Amino acid sequence: MKKNSRFLSPSLLSADFSDLTSAFKFIEEKGSSFVHVDVMDGHFVPQVSYGQPVISSIRKCTKLPFDVHLMIERPENSIVSYIESGADFVTFHIEATCHADRCVQLVHDAGKKAGIALCPATPLSAVEELLPFVDIVLVMSVNPGWGGQKLIPYTIEKIRKLADIQREKNFKYLISVDGGINQETLEDVLEAGTDIVVSGSSFFRGNLEWK
């Protein structure tokens, strides 16, 4: 992954699961770099999505890397199984575990990229100690668990602060943003310093132009 590049990571959760072949074709045709795979357990967030068997079965549908976003409690208990299912990046929530450093180690020990995610109201200070070690910092710009929400404006400043730290300390993490990204909000998050744009509803509805 090159810094100073921008990457598109469509969220598969908003795809038509009755026609995933077309969904993956659309993702690839639009110049995407990754596929964002949202895993929800019904506890950390109210919704339930899919787990390891589904990820394993769709892994053959594309050669694009899978960025697996774990919206689950105690991710340290299942990180390895998600990697075995086909995850190339594993991003977990700082709010979901007291063993965050262990989670990063588990991902890196498997030769994969580790990401840390923050809910909108979680301050950057919660992940400060991990910033030298993670590959991705995912800023949730909506409350996790539901698609189609509007971007929360104060999360833009969080992206800016992460970009400042990234430059000042020469950290290697990429900044990802997830939630409410459409044609109206895209330029704001990119200007703030986003490297990876996650988009679900707007992407699959054709309301996001990516260049």
Annotated binding site, which residues? 11, 36, 38, 69, 145-148, 178-180, 200-201
Name 3's Cβ contacts closer than 8 Å, sequence gap at least 6. Answer: 172, 174, 195
Name residues whose C-beta falls within 8 Å of residue 22's C-beta, 6 or more positions apart in sequence. 16
Q: Which residue positions form the known binding site for a divalent metal cation?
A: 36, 38, 69, 178
Active-site residue, from 38, 67, 135, 195: 38
Question: Exposed, middle or buried: residue 63 (CB in 10 Å: 0-12, 13-18, 19+)?
Answer: exposed
Task: Specify whether 178 is catalytic.
Answer: yes
Residue ranges for the known binding site for substrate are: 11, 69, 145-148, 178-180, 200-201
Residue 29's CB: how many other CB atoms inside 10 A? 8
Q: Which two tokens stand for residue 134?
A: 């993670």
- Selected catalytic residue, list 41, 178, 188, 195: 178
Q: How far apart are CA 58 and CA 39, in angstroms?
A: 14
Which of 119, 64, 114, 123 minimizes the C-alpha distance to 91?
A: 114
Q: Is 109 a catalytic residue?
A: no
Task: Name residue 55's amino acid.
Answer: I
Mention every residue, 6+ apart, whose C-beta is less than 8 A from residue 149.
142, 143, 179, 180
Write the CB contacts of 5 (distance below 8 Å, at least 6 apart in sequence): 195
Q: Please choose, from the candidates 43, 41, 1, the residue with its C-alpha nearest in 3D space to the C-alpha of residue 172.
A: 1
Catalytic residues: 38, 178
